[in-house]
Homo-oligomer: A and B are copies of this chain.
Amino acid sequence: MKTTILIHCPDQVGIIHAVTGFIQARAGNVVYLDQHVDKEANVFFMRLETDFDQTIPNIEDLKFDFEKSLAIPYRMQWSLHLDNVKPKMGLFVSKYNHCLYDLLSRFHSGELQIEIPFIISNHDELKPIADQFKIPFYTIPISKENRQEAENRQLELLKSHEVDFIVLARYMQIIGSRLISAYPNKIINIHHSFLPAFAGAKPYHAAFKRGVKIIGATSHYVTEELDAGPIIEQDVATVSHAHSIEDFIAKGRDLEKIVLARAVRLHVHRKTMVYNNKTVIFA
Chain A interface residues (CB < 8 Å from chain B): 13-14, 16-17, 20-21, 24, 29-39, 97-98, 101-102, 105, 108-109, 111, 132-133, 194-198, 210-214, 216, 230-236, 240-242, 244, 250, 253-254, 258, 261, 276-281, 283
Also in contact, A35 and B36, with CB within 8 A (given A105-B97, A213-B233): no
With A and B bound together, what is the CA distance between A258 and B237 in angstroms?
12
User: What is the chain B residue whose CB lies nearest that of A96?
Assistant: B109
Also in contact, A24 and B29, with CB within 8 A (given A109-B97, A194-B214): no
With A and B bound together, what is the CA distance between A240 and B212 in angstroms?
21
Chain A contact residues, majority secondary structure: mixed
**Which chain B residues border A29 with CB–CB below 8 Å?**
13
Whether B242 lies near A36 (C-beta < 8 A) is: yes
User: What is the chain B residue whose CB lies nearest that of A100?
Assistant: B105
Also in contact, A281 and B35, with CB within 8 A (given A105-B101, A213-B234): no
Copies of this chain, tallied across the complex: 4
**Which chain B residues border A32 with CB–CB below 8 Å?**
35, 37
Could you list 18 further interchain pairs (A-B, Cβ under 8 angstroms) beyond the known A32-B35, A213-B281? A17-B21, A17-B24, A20-B20, A31-B37, A34-B35, A36-B242, A101-B108, A132-B133, A194-B214, A196-B210, A211-B230, A211-B231, A212-B231, A213-B233, A213-B234, A214-B216, A241-B281, A258-B258
**Which chain B residues border A216 with CB–CB below 8 Å?**
214
Whether A241 lies near B13 (C-beta < 8 A) is: no
Whether A212 lies near B234 (C-beta < 8 A) is: yes
Nearest-neighbour CB distance to chain B for A74, whole angstroms, equals: 14
Complex A-B, nearest 5 residue pairs according to Cβ-Cβ distance, in ascending order: A211-B278, A101-B105, A197-B197, A17-B20, A241-B280
With A and B bound together, what is the CA distance between A111 and B278 in angstroms?
28
**Which chain B residues border A241 with CB–CB below 8 Å?**
36, 38, 278-281
Nearest-neighbour CB distance to chain B for A94, whole angstroms, equals: 14
**Which chain B residues border A13 with CB–CB below 8 Å?**
24, 29
